[in-house]
C-alpha cells in the first residue's frame, strides 16, 4: 500500500498554560499564608498586585475576575474580611492560583471528526475537529482541540492554536433519573440499608441539592453516628452524582481555547484517549459522542461525553457489567435499531456489544483475537468503525515484540458486524526510525480516523509524545485485506 506520512506534526507546546487552583497545604497552612498577606501595609498590597498583574495579564484573560473568584473560595480562612480592600482580596486570590502547562509532556492519541460548520469551503474540502490527549505536570491528561482543513488536493492543514486557555463552567446535572441512578449504585456494590433509605426519600427524578439534603439528614438522624460502611456508601452516592455533569464554554472562545480538564473524583489523575464519533440519530441529526478512560490514580473507568456543538458537553457514567476497562468505541449509527460498540474488557481481545440504551451495556461477545506476530500480546480498536460501501472499516492496534504498538485494520459486515469479512495480515502503520523515540518508545496509536474523497486520513500519536498524520487510498486498504 502507498501509505504517505504527511509533513504535519503537532508537538507539545509548553507555553499553553491554564490557571488552576493552588492549595499549598491544609486549612491551617492556608490560614497562616493569609495572615502574612493581611500583615502587609496597604500601599505594599497595591504595588504587589500591580506587579503580579503586569507579569501575568497578557497570559490570561480577565485575570482580576479569576483572582476575585479564587478569593471567594479561600475566604473561609480569614478571621474576618471586614474593611478588606478590593486590592487585598485580589492579592489573596493570586496567592492560591498557579499556572499549569497543559501539554508540557505530550500531545498525542488524536481522534478526528467532521466539523459541524462546513461553510465557506471550496468544493472537495472538509473542515475537521481534532481532539487530542494533552499531558502535563504530574502526568495528568485532559482533552484539548484543534481545527483544520483537508483541502481538495488532500493537503492537511491544522490551524495554529492561539488565544487564552479556559476551562468551562461546570453545571451539575439538573435532574437524575432515580431508577437509573439506583441501578448504577447496585453495580458499584453500594446497595445497602443506608442507600435504600436515602433513595426511598427521593422522587422519581431528583436534583443534586435534594440528594445532598437527604444525605445530610440521614447523617443527623443516626443516633450513634455513621458506621464506616454507611460513610463509604454516602461517599459513593455523592461520587456517582458528581460524575454526571454538564460543562459549558462561551461561544466567543475559539475551539483551541476550550480545555476539558479532570473535574470529578473518578477523573482525578486524568481523562485519557477520547474517541470522538459523529453519531447520526434516527432523524439524521448529529450527536458527537466520545468514550474515554477516567483514571483516579488506581482504577480506570470508561465514561462517556456527548455534545452537539462543542460548546456544551454532558458527562455520563457508562453503566452495566460490560462497561469496564479501556478501548470502548461507539458505531456512528444504530444497527438493527440498537446501539453498537467495540470494547476490550480483557486487555487482549476485541469485543462487540449491543444495547438499547447508550448509557448501559450488559453483554459482550468476542469479535477478534490476536492472530499475527505484531499483535500477539494485545489487540484493540483504534477508534469508532468507519462505514464504507464494503463494510465497517475498523482500525486496530496490536502489541508485538518489544512492546511495539502498530496500527492494523479489519472489515465487518455492514448489516451484521459480528461477521469479520476482511483483515490485514501486516500492519497498516508501524513506528519508523523517526517515530520510535518519545515518552513511550515504539508506539503509534490513534483514537479515530475518517475517510474523505476516497482517502483514509489517520491522525496518530508518535511515541506518546507528538501527533502526525498519514494518508492512504481506501481502495488499497480494502484490496490488501484477506
CA distance 352 to 417: 8
Spans of the chain, pLDDT less than 50: none
Task: Produce one character per residue of 35-60: b if its CB has 16 or more CB atoms within 10 Å, e if not.
Answer: eeeeeeeeeebbeebeebbeebeeeb
Coil, helix or strand at residue 465: coil
Cell representation of residue 59: 497570559
Site of grid cell 480498536: 381
CB 446 within 8 A of CB 418: no
CA distance 17 to 31: 27
What is the DSSP secondary structure assignment for residue 360, as one 8-state letter? B
pLDDT tens-digit map of 203-237? 999 998 999 999 988 876 655 667 888 888 888 89
Please give the full DSSP string across 312-323, using - where no structure is assigned.
EEEEEE-BSTT-
CA distance 55 to 59: 8
What are the structural domains, with CATH classification, of the chain?
A: 4-11+106-167+254-479 (2.115.10.20), 18-101 (no CATH), 174-242 (no CATH)
The predicted structure's pLDDT at residue 387: 98
Report which secondary-structure segment, H or E, holds 46: helix 42-56
CA distance 183 to 29: 42
pLDDT tens-digit map of 404-430? 999 999 999 999 999 999 999 999 999
The predicted structure's pLDDT at residue 297: 75
The predicted structure's pLDDT at residue 221: 63
CA distance 7 to 51: 42
Cβ-Cβ contacts under 8 Å for 462 (sequence gap 6 or more):
9, 108, 431, 435, 438, 443, 444, 468
- Cα 61 to Cα 20, 68, 104, 250, 268, distances in angstroms: 13, 13, 21, 13, 25
Please give the full DSSP string across 52-117, using - where no structure is assigned.
HHHHHTTTSTTHHHHHHHHHHHHGGGSS--TT--HHHHHHHHHHTEEEEETTSSEEEEEEEEE-S-
Coil, helix or strand at residue 214: helix
What is the distance between the terminal CA atoms of the chain, rounded to a whole angstrom? Answer: 14
What is the longest distance spanned by two Cα atoms in the chain? 79
CB 12 within 8 A of CB 66: no
Report which secondary-structure segment, H or E, holds 367: strand 365-368
Q: Where are the alpha helices (DSSP H) in 178-330?
A: 178-187, 193-200, 208-221, 228-242
The predicted structure's pLDDT at residue 206: 93
Average pLDDT, the chain: 93
CA distance 142 to 133: 6
Task: Produce one character per residue of 9-27: b if its CB has 16 or more CB atoms within 10 Å, e if not.
Answer: ebebeeebbbbeeeeeeee
The predicted structure's pLDDT at residue 224: 60
Site of grid cell 454526571: 244
- Tally of residues, the chain: 482
Amino acid at each position: 500500500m502507498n501509505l504517505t506520512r504527511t509533513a504535519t506534526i503537532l508537538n507539545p507546546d509548553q507555553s499553553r498554560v491554564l490557571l488552576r487552583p493552588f492549595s499549598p497545604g491544609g486549612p491551617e497552612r492556608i490560614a497562616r499564608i493569609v495572615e502574612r498577606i493581611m500583615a502587609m501595609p496597604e500601599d505594599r498590597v497595591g504595588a504587589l498586585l500591580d506587579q503580579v498583574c503586569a507579569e501575568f495579564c497578557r497570559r490570561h484573560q480577565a485575570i482580576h475576575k479569576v483572582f476575585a473568584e479564587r478569593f471567594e473560595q479561600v475566604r473561609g480562612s480569614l478571621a474576618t474580611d471586614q474593611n478588606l480592600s478590593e486590592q487585598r482580596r485580589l492579592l489573596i486570590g493570586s496567592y492560591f492560583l498557579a499556572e499549569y502547562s497543559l501539554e508540557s509532556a505530550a500531545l498525542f492519541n488524536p481522534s478526528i471528526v467532521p466539523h459541524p460548520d462546513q461553510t465557506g469551503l471550496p468544493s472537495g474540502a472538509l473542515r475537521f475537529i481534532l481532539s487530542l490527549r494533552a499531558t502535563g505536570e504530574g502526568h495528568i491528561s485532559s482533552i484539548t482541540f484543534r481545527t483544520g482543513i483537508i483541502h481538495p488536493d488532500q493537503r492537511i492543514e491544522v490551524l495554529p492554536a492561539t488565544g487564552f486557555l479556559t476551562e468551562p463552567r461546570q453545571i451539575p446535572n439538573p435532574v437524575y433519573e432515580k431508577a437509573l441512578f439506583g441501578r448504577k449504585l447496585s453495580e458499584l456494590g453500594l446497595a445497602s440499608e443506608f442507600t435504600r433509605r436515602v433513595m426511598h426519600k427521593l422522587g422519581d427524578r431528583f436534583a443534586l441539592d435534594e440528594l445532598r439534603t437527604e444525605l445530610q439528614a440521614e447523617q443527623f438522624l443516626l443516633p450513634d453516628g455513621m458506621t464506616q460502611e454507611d460513610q463509604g456508601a454516602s461517599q459513593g452516592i455523592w461520587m456517582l452524582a458528581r460524575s454526571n455533569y454538564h460543562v459549558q464554554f462561551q461561544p466567543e472562545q475559539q475551539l483551541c481555547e476550550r480545555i476539558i480538564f479532570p473535574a470529578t473524583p473518578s477523573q482525578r489523575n486524568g481523562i485519557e484517549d477520547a474517541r470522538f464519533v459523529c453519531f447520526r440519530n434516527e432523524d439524521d441529526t448529529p450527536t458527537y459522542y466520545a468514550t474515554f478512560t477516567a483514571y483516579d490514580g488506581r482504577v480506570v473507568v470508561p465514561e462517556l461525553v456527548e455534545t452537539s456543538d462543542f460548546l456544551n458537553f454532558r458527562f455520563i457514567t457508562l453503566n452495566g457489567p460490560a462497561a469496564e476497562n479501556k478501548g470502548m468505541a461507539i458505531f456512528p449509527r444504530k444497527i438493527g435499531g440498537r446501539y453498537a460498540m467495540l470494547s476490550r474488557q480483557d486487555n487482549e481481545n476485541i469485543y462487540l456489544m449491543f444495547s438499547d440504551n447508550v448509557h448501559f451495556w450488559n453483554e459482550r461477545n468476542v469479535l477478534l483475537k490476536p492472530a499475527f506476530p505484531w499483535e500477539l500480546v494485545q489487540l484493540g480498536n483504534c477508534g469508532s468503525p468507519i462505514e464504507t460501501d464494503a463494510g465497517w472499516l475498523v482500525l486496530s492496534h496490536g502489541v508485538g515484540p518489544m512492546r511495539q504498538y502498530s496500527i492494523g485494520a479489519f472489515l465487518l459486515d455492514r448489516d451484521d458486524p459480528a461477521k469479520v469479512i476482511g483483515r490485514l495480515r501486516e500492519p497498516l502503520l508501524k513506528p519508523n526510525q523517526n517515530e520510535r523515540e518519545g515518552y513511550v518508545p515504539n508506539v503509534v496509536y490513534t483514537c479515530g480516523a475518517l475517510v474523505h474523497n476516497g482517502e483514509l486520513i489517520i491522525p496518530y500519536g508518535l511515541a506518546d509524545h507528538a501527533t502526525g498524520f498519514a494518508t492512504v487510498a481506501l481502495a488499497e486498504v480494502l484490496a490488501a485485506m484477506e
